[in-house]
Amino acid sequence: MRRRRFGPFEVVILLAALCLIAVGASGFDQAVRAARADGAPGRFAVTSSDCVSHLGHSSCTCLGDYAADDGSVRLTGVPLVGGGDDCTAGTVRGAVDIGVETRVVDPGGSGEWVVTALILSAGTGLALWAVIPLLRRSRVRSAAR
């Protein structure tokens, strides 16, 4: 098999992979909080829905106003992430503020950790692919000694 060498292309891929890992790592703490619905519990009043329609079906996100039970946080016009997609205007549902101004999550948690996991996996996979020639070369050298 023709052996790949650690060249300029591998360097670029490695740098891109490190960027992906940095992005994934920066969102790790937030993803864990979202998955565990770890934050200030409150009530979410649905005001509208934002739907993407495809042939024969659609996917909706509930938009509404959130108020923490202790009154410490109020957010207006934010999406509710996780839970079902019943977005009937006027419905009041439980929600948790995880410390992010752009959304609140369902008390059952949200699956946004999947995004962080995918980015970390992609970064790690690309980084490993890029350094395989280096690993292989060091293994051949140690075997030759």
- Nearest-approach distance from CB 142 to other proteins, in angstroms: 11
Contact letters (x/-) for other proteins, 70-99, by CB under 8 A? ---------x----xx--------------
Between 67 and 113, CB nearer to other proteins: 113
Query: For residue 41, which of 115, 128, 114, 105 has the smallest C-alpha distance?
Result: 105
- Which residues are CB-neighbours of 109 under 8 A, at least 6 positions away? 34, 35, 36, 37, 82
Rg (CA), the chain: 22
Between 57 and 71, CB nearer to other proteins: 57
* Range in contact with other proteins (rule: CB under 8 A) among 40-48, 64-72, 89-97, 114-122: 114-122
- Nearest-approach distance from CB 52 to other proteins, in angstroms: 7
Query: Helix, strand or coil for residue 19?
Result: helix
Q: Distance from CA of residue 44 to its chain's centroid?
A: 22
